[in-house]
Structure 1
Amino acid sequence: MANSPISRSDVLEKEYDAATTTMIRGLVILLASLILFWLLRVFNLIPLSNLFLLTSIAGAVVMIVAGRRMYVARSTTAIPVECPYCGGATEFVAAPSVDWTCEHCSRRVYYENGKIAPVRTVTCPSCGAEHKVSVKAPTYTCDRCNRTLRLSDGDQSVKIASEPSDLLRNYDVILTQAGRTPDEVAMALQDILVCNLRDARARMEDVPLTVVRNVPEIKANSIRMKLRELGATAVIRPTADETESPRAI
Structure 2
Amino acid sequence: MSDNNKNEEPTLEQVDIAKERVAADSFMAALPGLLILIIAAIMAFYTNQQSGTPMPLSLVLGVIGVALLGYGIFRATRIKAIEGHAIDCPFCEKTNVLTAAPQSDFRCTHCNRDVPVENGVVLRVYQVRCGYCNTLNYYSDKSTGLICESCDREIPIATDEETTAKKVFESYTIHDDNQPYDLILTAAPKSDEMIACLQQMLALNRNQVKDIIDDLPQTLLTGIPKKKAELLTAQIAVHKGRAESKVSGT
CA drift at 1:119: 0.5
Out of 85, 90, 99, the residue aligned to residue 93 of structure 1 is: 99
Letter of the aligned partner of 2:133 in structure 1? C
Out of 168, 174, 193, the residue aligned to residue 162 of structure 1 is: 174
Task: Tell me how far apart the structure 1 counterparts of residues 61 and 136 of structure 2 sit (CA, whole Å).
Answer: 64
Letter of the aligned partner of 1:77 in structure 2? E
SS in 2 for 1:136: coil
CA drift at 1:22: 0.6
Letter of the aligned partner of 2:27 in structure 1? T
Decide whether aligned partners of structure 1 residues 77 and 57 sit closer, same or farther in structure 2, where only a CA change above 3 A counts: same
Contact 2:125 2:138 in 1 (8 A): yes
CA drift at 1:27: 2.0
**Does 2:53 match 1:40?**
no
Out of 46, 65, 78, the residue aligned to residue 84 of structure 2 is: 78
- Larger strand fraction of residues: 1
Out of 126, 137, 141, the residue aligned to residue 131 of structure 1 is: 137
Percentage of matched positions with identical amino acids = 21
TM-score where L is the length of structure 2: 0.51
Contact 2:148 2:155 in 1 (8 A): no
Task: Tell me how far apart the structure 1 counterparts of residues 151 and 30 of structure 2 sit (CA, whole Å).
Answer: 47
Show the counterpart of 1:246.
none
CA drift at 1:120: 0.1
Q: Deviations over 1:17-49 (max 9, x none)?
A: 43122112212212221232233234x133234
TM-score where L is the length of structure 1: 0.51
For structure 2, which runs of at least 5 residues remain unmatched after alignment? 1-6, 161-169, 176-250
Show the counterpart of 1:66.
72
In the comparison of the two structures, how many residue pairs are matched?
Answer: 158
Show the counterpart of 1:20.
27
Q: Which has the larger radius of gyration?
A: 2
Listed as ranges, the matches of 1:212-223 within 5 Å are: none
RMSD: 3.3
Show the counterpart of 1:30.
37
For structure 1, which runs of at least 5 residues remain unmatched after alignment? 164-249
Decide whether aligned partners of structure 1 residues 37 and 92 sit closer, same or farther in structure 2, where only a CA change above 3 A counts: same
After superposing on structure 2, the runs of 4+ consecutive aligned residues of structure 1 that deviate more than 6 Å are none
CA drift at 1:121: 0.5
Q: Deviations over 1:199-246 (max 9, x none)?
A: xxxxxxxxxxxxxxxxxxxxxxxxxxxxxxxxxxxxxxxxxxxxxxxx
